[in-house]
Amino acid sequence: MLHKSPVTSTSTATVGKDNKHDSAERHIKGTALYIDDIREPQGTLHLAPGYAQATCGKIKNLDLSAVRSAPGVVAVLTAKDIPGVNDCSPAMGDDMILADGHILFHGQVVFAVVATSHLEARKAARLAKIEIEETPPMVTVEDGLEKDASVLPPYEFLTGSPDEIIKSSPNQIVDSFHIGGQEHFYLEGQIAMAIPGDDGEMLVHSSTQHPTEVQHTIAKMLGIQDAAVVCECRRMGGAFGGKESQAAQWAALSALAAYVTGRPAKMRLDRDDDMIMTGKRHDQACHWQAGYDDQGKLTAVNVEFNSRCGCSADLSLGVNDRTMFHADNSYYYPASRILSRRVMTNTVSNTAFRGFGGPQGMVFSERMMDAIAIKLGMDPLDVRKINFYGDEGRDVTPFGMKVQDNILDELVSKLENTSDYRNRRKEIDAFNKKSPFLKKGLALNPVKFGISFTLKHLNQAGALVHVYTDGSVQVNHGGTEMGQGLYTKVAQVVAEEFGIDLDHVRITATKTDKVPNTAPTAASSGSDMNGMAAKRAAETIKERLIELASKLYQVDKEAISFAHNKVKVGEQEIAFAELTQQAFLERVSLSSTGYYATPHITWDRETKDGRPFLYFAYGACCAEVTIDTLTGEMKVDRVDILHDVGKSLNPAIDIGQIEGGFVQGMGWLTTEELVYDDQGRLRTHAPSTYKIPTASDIPEDFRVKLWKSNGNREDTIYRSKAVGEPPVMLATAIFSAVTNAIASLSPGQVPQINTPATPENILRSVQDMKKRDRKAGA
Amino acid sequence: MRQSVKFLRDGEVVELDNVDPNETLLDYLRLREGSCGTKEGCGEGDCGACSVAIGSLKDGKLEYQAVNSCIQLLGMMDGKEIITVDDLSDSSQARRSGELHPVQDAMLRHHGSQCGFCTPGIVMSLFTLYHAEIEADRNTINDQLAGNLCRCTGYRPIIDAALESCTGKAEDRFREDAKARTTKLNELDDKEDLFIGNEAKFFAAPASTETLASLYEKHPDAVIVAGATDVGLWITKQLRDLPKIIHIGRVTELQNIIDNKGEIIIGAGVTYAHAKETLATIDPDVAEIIRRIGSTQVRASGTIGGNIANGSPIGDSPPLLIALNARLTLQKGTQSREIDLENFFIDYGKQDRKEGEFVSKIRVPKLAENEVFRSYKISKRFDQDISALLAAFRLTLDNSKITQARIAYGGMAGTPKRAELTQKALIGIDLNAPETWENAVQTLEQDFTPLSDMRASADYRMEAAKGLLIKALHEISNGKVDQQGKQTRVIGARANDVREAV
Cross-chain Cβ contact A759/B455 below 8 Å: no
Q: How far is CA B462 from the centre of its chain?
A: 27
- Residue B482, chain A, CB below 8 Å: the answer is no
On whether both B92 and B217 belong to a single domain, the answer is no
Instruction: Name the residue facing B156 among A23, A30, A659 (closest C-beta).
Output: A659
Among A489, A696, A765, most B C-beta atoms within 10 A, so best to mutate, is A696
| Residue A776 in domain | yes
- Cα end-to-end span (Å), chain A: 51
| Helices and strands, counts by H and E, chain A | 19, 27
pLDDT score, position B99: 86
On whether both B167 and B292 belong to a single domain, the answer is no
Q: What is the mean pLDDT of residues B454-480?
A: 92
- Cα end-to-end span (Å), chain B: 60
| Residue A17 in domain | no
Catalytic residue among A244, A416, A725, A760: A725
pLDDT score, position B495: 63
pLDDT score, position B499: 42
Chain A residues with CB under 8 Å of B453 CB are 683
Cross-chain Cβ contact B114/A660 below 8 Å: yes
CA distances from A374 to A296, A422, A736 (A): 10, 17, 11
Closest residue in chain B to residue A635, using alpha carbons only: B490
Residue A283 identity: D
Shortest distance between the Cα of A543 and any Cα of chain B, in A, equals 35
Chain B residues with CB under 8 Å of A631 CB are 376, 378, 464, 467-468, 471
On whether both B142 and B279 belong to a single domain, the answer is no
Chain A residues with CB under 8 Å of B86 CB are 30
On whether both B232 and B299 belong to a single domain, the answer is no
Cross-chain Cβ contact B454/A626 below 8 Å: no
On whether both A481 and A419 belong to a single domain, the answer is no
Q: Is the predicted pLDDT of residue B483 greater than 50, yes or no?
A: no
SS (H, E, C) A575-598: EHHHHHHHHHHCCCCCEEEEEEEC
Measured CA to CA, the distance from residue A77 to residue A75 in angstroms comes to: 6
Cross-chain Cβ contact A29/B37 below 8 Å: yes
On whether both B300 and B228 belong to a single domain, the answer is no
- Residue A270, chain B, CB below 8 Å: the answer is yes
Closest residue in chain A to residue B152, using alpha carbons only: A660
Total domains present in chain B:
3
| Residue A318 in domain | yes
Measured CA to CA, the distance from residue A501 to residue B32 in angstroms comes to: 40
3-state helix, strand, coil in chain A (%, to 5): 35, 25, 40
Instruction: Name the residue facing B46 among A36, A627, A688 (closest C-beta).
Output: A688
Residues in CB range of A262: below 8 A, 6 or more apart: A196
| Residue B39 in domain | yes
On whether both A395 and A433 belong to a single domain, the answer is no
Shortest distance between the Cα of B47 and any Cα of chain A, in A, equals 7
Chain A residues with CB under 8 Å of B90 CB are 29-31
On whether both A169 and A213 belong to a single domain, the answer is yes
Chain B residues with CB under 8 Å of A20 CB are 108, 111
Among the listed residues A699, A770, A645, A479, the one whose alpha carbon sits nearest the alpha carbon of residue A16: A645
| Residue B3 in domain | no
Q: Which H or E run contains B337?
A: strand B335-340
Task: For B36-73, give the DSSP string.
Answer: TTS--SSSSSSS-TTEEEEEEEETTEEEEEEEEGGGSB
On whether both A502 and A635 belong to a single domain, the answer is no
CA distances from B382 to A762, B178, B217, B424 (A): 15, 36, 41, 31
pLDDT score, position B311: 78
Q: Is the predicted pLDDT of residue B426 greater than 50, yes or no?
A: yes
DSSP SS3 for A338: strand
On whether both A553 and A580 belong to a single domain, the answer is yes
Residue A69, number of CB atoms within 10 A of its CB: 10
Q: Chain A to chain B, count of Cβ pairs less than 8 Å apart? A: 278
Query: Where does residue A743 rank: exposed (0-12), middle (13-18), buried (19+ CB within 10 A)?
Result: buried
On whether both A144 and A284 belong to a single domain, the answer is yes
Instruction: Name the residue facing A482 among B49, B115, B146 (closest C-beta).
Output: B115
| Residue A602 in domain | no
- Residue A774, chain B, CB below 8 Å: the answer is no
Cross-chain Cβ contact B474/A238 below 8 Å: no
- Residue A632, chain B, CB below 8 Å: the answer is yes
Measured CA to CA, the distance from residue A381 to residue A440 in angstroms comes to: 16
Shortest distance between the Cα of B261 and any Cα of chain A, in A, equals 36
Q: Are A264 and A114 in contact (CB under 8 A)?
A: no
pLDDT per residue as tens digits for the range B304-349: 999 999 877 667 899 999 999 999 999 999 999 999 999 999 988 8
Among the listed residues A535, A534, A537, A559, the one whose alpha carbon sits nearest the alpha carbon of residue A546: A559
Residue A436 identity: P
Measured CA to CA, the distance from residue B341 to residue B324 in angstroms comes to: 10
SS (H, E, C) A542-569: HHHHHHHHHHHHCCCHHHEEEECCEEEE
Closest residue in chain A to residue B89, using alpha carbons only: A29
Cross-chain Cβ contact B380/A671 below 8 Å: yes
Among B150, B166, B188, which residue terminates a domain?
B188
Query: Does the annotation mark A416 as catalytic?
Result: no
Residue A511, number of CB atoms within 10 A of its CB: 20
Phi, psi dihedrals of residue B377, rounded to the nearest 5°: -120, 135
Instruction: Name the residue facing B454 among A126, A659, A684 (closest C-beta).
Output: A684
On whether both B381 and B470 belong to a single domain, the answer is yes
Closest residue in chain B to residue A437, using alpha carbons only: B488
| Residue B369 in domain | yes
Prior bond to A756 cis, omega within 30?
Answer: yes
Among A597, A626, A660, which residue terminates a domain?
A597
Total domains present in chain A:
3
- Residue B89, chain A, CB below 8 Å: the answer is yes
Q: Which residue blocks in A670-731 are alpha helix, DSSP H?
A: none
Among A573, A597, A621, which residue terminates a domain?
A597
Residues in CB range of A119: below 8 A, 6 or more apart: B27, B239
**DSSP secondary-structure letter at A224?**
-
Interhelix angle B156-165/A651-669, rounded to 10 degrees, is 110
On whether both B79 and B128 belong to a single domain, the answer is yes
CATH number of the domain to which A141 belongs? 3.30.365.10
Region label for A553, one of left (φ > 0), alpha (ψ between -120 and 50) or beta (otherwise):
alpha
Instruction: Name the residue facing A694 among B111, B157, B384 (closest C-beta).
Output: B384
On whether both B170 and B267 belong to a single domain, the answer is no
Q: Quick one: CA dihedral A115, A117, A122, A123, positive or negative?
A: negative
Q: Quick one: CA dihedral A403, A404, A405, A410, positive or negative?
A: positive
Q: Which residues 220-249 of A are in CB contact (within 8 Å) with B?
A: 235-240
On whether both A294 and A172 belong to a single domain, the answer is yes
SS (H, E, C) A341-396: EEEECCCCCCCCCCCCCHHHHHHHHHHHHHHHHHHHCCCHHHHHHHHECCCCCCCE
Interhelix angle B284-291/B272-279, rounded to 10 degrees, is 160
| Residue B131 in domain | yes
Q: Which residues 30-89 of A are in CB contact (within 8 Å) with B?
A: 30-34, 36-37, 39
DSSP SS3 for A674: coil
Among B173, B188, B203, which residue terminates a domain?
B188
Among B253, B271, B294, which residue terminates a domain?
B253
On whether both B121 and B203 belong to a single domain, the answer is no
User: What range does the domain containing B235 cover?
Assistant: 194-253
| Residue A60 in domain | no
On whether both B362 and B217 belong to a single domain, the answer is no
| Residue A218 in domain | yes
Instruction: Name the residue facing B90 among A29, A662, A695 (closest C-beta).
Output: A29
Among the listed residues B491, B402, B417, B416, the one whose alpha carbon sits nearest the alpha carbon of residue B447: B417
| Residue A556 in domain | yes
Among the listed residues A155, A206, A86, the one whose alpha carbon sits nearest the alpha carbon of residue A520: A206
On whether both B122 and B227 belong to a single domain, the answer is no
pLDDT score, position B424: 98
Q: How far is CA A652 from the centre of its chain?
A: 20
On whether both A504 and A441 belong to a single domain, the answer is no
Cross-chain Cβ contact A760/B37 below 8 Å: no
Closest residue in chain A to residue B163, using alpha carbons only: A1
pLDDT score, position A692: 98
- Residue A403, chain B, CB below 8 Å: the answer is no
Residues in CB range of B490: below 8 A, 6 or more apart: A438, A626, A627, A628, A633, A634, A635
CATH number of the domain to which B200 belongs? 3.30.43.10
On whether both A212 and A360 belong to a single domain, the answer is yes
CA distances from A757 to A666, A668, A742, B29, B238 (A): 10, 9, 11, 40, 32
Q: What is the mean pLDDT of residues B163-180?
A: 95
Cross-chain Cβ contact B380/A758 below 8 Å: yes
Among the listed residues A596, A411, A351, A588, the one whose alpha carbon sits nearest the alpha carbon of residue A490: A596
| Residue A54 in domain | no
Q: Are B132 and B178 in contact (CB under 8 A)?
A: no
Among the listed residues B284, B202, B248, B237, the one whose alpha carbon sits nearest the alpha carbon of residue B493: B284
ipTM rounded to 2 decimals:
0.97
Cross-chain Cβ contact B119/A28 below 8 Å: yes
| Residue B409 in domain | yes
Measured CA to CA, the distance from residue A299 to residue A334 in angstroms comes to: 6
pLDDT score, position B486: 65
On whether both B203 and B285 belong to a single domain, the answer is no
Residues in CB range of B483: below 8 A, 6 or more apart: none
Residue A585, number of CB atoms within 10 A of its CB: 8
pLDDT score, position B494: 79
Give me the residues of chain A with pLDDT under 50, please.
Answer: 1-9
Measured CA to CA, the distance from residue A18 to residue A541 in angstroms comes to: 27
Kindly report the pTM of this predicted structure: 0.97
Measured CA to CA, the distance from residue A340 to residue B340 in angstroms comes to: 59
Cross-chain Cβ contact A630/B468 below 8 Å: yes
| Residue B172 in domain | yes
On whether both A388 and A419 belong to a single domain, the answer is no
On whether both A356 and A373 belong to a single domain, the answer is yes
- Residue A20, chain B, CB below 8 Å: the answer is yes
Q: Is the predicted pLDDT of residue B496 greater than 80, yes or no?
A: no
On whether both A182 and A324 belong to a single domain, the answer is yes
User: What range does the domain containing A467 cover?
Assistant: 24-32+460-597
Q: Is the predicted pLDDT of residue B423 greater than 70, yes or no?
A: yes
Angle at A471 between CA A465 and CA A473, to 5 degrees: 25
Instruction: Name the residue facing A631 among B34, B148, B464 (closest C-beta).
Output: B464
Q: Quick one: CA dihedral B458, B460, B465, B469, positive or negative?
A: positive
Q: Are B177 and B136 in contact (CB under 8 A)?
A: no
- Residue A768, chain B, CB below 8 Å: the answer is no
Measured CA to CA, the distance from residue A77 to residue A236 in angstroms comes to: 27
Chain A residues with CB under 8 Å of B84 CB are 30
Shortest distance between the Cα of A20 and any Cα of chain B, in A, equals 7
Instruction: Name the residue facing A696 among B43, B383, B454 (closest C-beta).
Output: B383
| Residue B1 in domain | no
Chain B residues with CB under 8 Å of A675 CB are 454
Cross-chain Cβ contact A630/B119 below 8 Å: no
Chain B residues with CB under 8 Å of A766 CB are none
